[in-house]
Amino acid sequence: MSHPPFAGQPDVLDRRVLFAVELIDPVTQSLVWQGFKVKPAGLSNKPIINRSGRLVWLLEKDAWPGVITVDPDDAPFESHTQPAPPRPADILKAKPNERLVRIVLRPTAAYPFDTGATVVRGALVEDVTVPVPIVVPGAMVQLAWHDALSNAWLPARPQPGEVWPQTDRKGEFAALLQLHAPPPADPDLDHGLLKARVQVTRGAQTRATPGNFPFLPNPADAGRVPEGRLLSTDVTLGWNQLNPI
């Protein structure tokens, strides 16, 4: 699978371009395309791949894409569907960001998390206690680790050009961190389990999982996740059950 460098800003799109899609690997923060089948409803032509790794569809008379379906085939990502952005009033004068959709892919358990990343996957809803929870899309999600020396929580920091994971339209997310803790930092580790929390930002407010959140089934491991590995069970977070920070 090829991983071109992630481009943080849209290219200037040629006027012949109708629409473009970026598929983002949230672990490597790179664009992927090989092996994926991406189908925007309402378009008949196949996409071309530009030098940045974007899938690009050219103008098809007066057509505009509908629901976008991503089939990863054998790639270790979940299938994905989402609506296309609203149709611009004048397609020929549409700005690049009106023609570009970024899709942050959701790794499956088969993803080769051999980079030493600590990963928590799950979903964010308004309230986990109601029979039919309302999902929360578009919230920024970070994984933070506890420094035993300073008693501080240190969230993952973005590298230049990286995109923070956000909940998708189903409220789902994959939050990860690469633990780089040079002395005198002292990651709070216990038998390979890292004291960690998930931090969620909506607008100007950030909340986090409580210190005893049951990431793992053993109550003695509350508030901890396997360091450098994928948490085997997805979590469901209720926004109103998270603690303001």
pLDDT digit string, tens, across residues 60-72: 988 999 999 999 9
Domain parsing of the chain, residue ranges: 17-104, 117-244
For residue 111, give every residue at least 6 positions away whose Cβ sits within 8 Å of its Cβ, in sequence order, or none: 27, 76, 77, 230
pTM: 0.66
pLDDT at 14: 52
Which CATH architecture is the domain 117-244 placed in?
Sandwich (2.60)
pLDDT at 57: 95
Burial 7-30 (b: 16+ CB within 10 A, else e): eeebeebeeebbbbbbbbbbbebb
pLDDT digit string, tens, across residues 70-99: 999 889 888 889 899 899 998 888 888 899
Pick out the chain residues at pLDDT < 70.
1-15, 109, 113-115, 158-164
**Domain 17-104 maps to which CATH number in 1.10.287, 2.60.120, 1.10.10, 2.60.40?**
2.60.40
37 Cα distance to chain centroid: 19
